[in-house]
A = this chain, B = another copy of it.
């Protein structure tokens, strides 16, 4: 999308709060130096954040000979944020304070066959209720709930346009959630949740151009370009999982053949293991997590089949990542989500070596490839960050913070 001056003001507000969270306590002068914004702009934005109660004044530091500088810090207890990670077999929810510390967690398992939107929604509502109760906070302090659902999402209307796990088409997910959840709601998908988590708290912080490669059941790329999330004109950018790696190759659920996802998504890795060693004890036919865990352990033990599966997966992955390096010329490529976390360093080492064989010299020299440094679930952290961004975006659009949140139908409990 074309950036307007309001987009730029919002981006600056994000940047200043991001910096305060990273370096609390800090002064307006340090913030201006770190962000490249003028001191006057920083002072205005800091004033807005103080008014919102998101940050507080915490005293002064001496500046050699000059006037003492006021210090601000994030006000961790100034509000709570909830992040919801809807995956195909579970719902994972975390409640954060404003410093993005986890205060409570809840998990709901979904049984095979539990795929109707109403079933998923009731799991989400139960888990959200649970984290609020566990944390013992007032409902009025919940600034919002970010919800990540796989597939293609219209974030403006809150509709899940296509969720491949359950073959959902045009499900009005946010409206269904709003029947149970009274806080402001924000819908997006795991690609963008992981990207925004890296941008605020991980390997993309302070970077202009970064690609967050998401390796799970589905795969895709979250794009950080020009210091912000690139969404595309209809919020569906980053569908790297459905770019063609092998013309006329494996059939993909999207209808195309030879998509990256069919080779490097967890089901694709399992298919490769099955083809290489049909009776392998590593294979848990109905359980992706158990299979990838078993592969990771077997690689550490130098099991030849496991080593070959990881090496071949890395080879496919590297051809696809080299495409991203050649197209975007990013500073960093981050491997995120559960398959990347589980296969870890052995996968990373093979990927780095193979990308160097595929990518062009100049963009390759400018890029590092790393594992996500985020220690917890990046999807729920990123989803909570969408709620934080939503609260920041609405600054100045409403008279009081709790009035008329975009997506909630009733006033929150207090």
Contacts and interface: CB of A to CB of B under 8 A. Distances in A.
Interface of A: 1-5, 8, 36-38, 41, 152, 161-162, 206-209, 221, 223, 225-228, 230-240, 242-247, 249, 254-256, 316, 319-320, 322-323, 326-331, 357-363, 365-367
A237 B206 CA distance: 19
A366 B236 contact: yes
Given A239-B363, A322-B256, A329 B231 contact: yes
B360 A242 contact: yes
Contacts of A255: 357
Contact of A225 (B225, B234, B361): B225
Given A244-B319, A256-B322, A329-B236, A152 B362 contact: yes
Given A247-B245, A328-B237, A5 B358 contact: no
A326 B241 CA distance: 9
B323 A243 contact: yes
Contact of A243 (B225, B234, B327, B357): B327
Nearest to A169: B361
A365 B329 contact: no
Contact of A3 (B226, B326, B330, B360): B226
Contacts of A256: 322, 357-359
Contacts of A358: 244, 256
A236 to B, nearest CB: 5
18 contacts: A2-B208, A5-B41, A152-B360, A209-B233, A225-B225, A225-B226, A225-B230, A226-B226, A230-B328, A233-B366, A234-B366, A236-B326, A237-B329, A238-B327, A239-B327, A242-B326, A244-B323, A245-B247
A341 B401 CA distance: 55
A355 to B, nearest CB: 11
A154 to B, nearest CB: 8
Given A246-B246, A326-B243, A3 B227 contact: yes
Contact of A246 (B152, B247, B326, B360): B247
A71 to B, nearest CB: 24
Could you say how many copies of this chain the assembly holds? Answer: 2
Instruction: Output the residue of A161, A239, A326, A362 with the most chain B CB within 10 A.
Output: A326
A209 to B, nearest CB: 5
Nearest to A36: B4
A237 B363 contact: yes
Contacts of A247: 245-246, 249, 316, 319
B319 A254 contact: no
A362 B328 contact: no
**A-B pairs, 9 with minimum CB distance:** A232-B329, A2-B208, A243-B323, A239-B326, A237-B329, A234-B366, A2-B227, A1-B208, A236-B363
Contacts of A320: 244
A4 B207 CA distance: 12
A234 B3 CA distance: 23
Contact of A327 (B4, B221, B226, B329): B221
B152 A235 contact: no
Contacts of A240: 326-327
A259 to B, nearest CB: 9
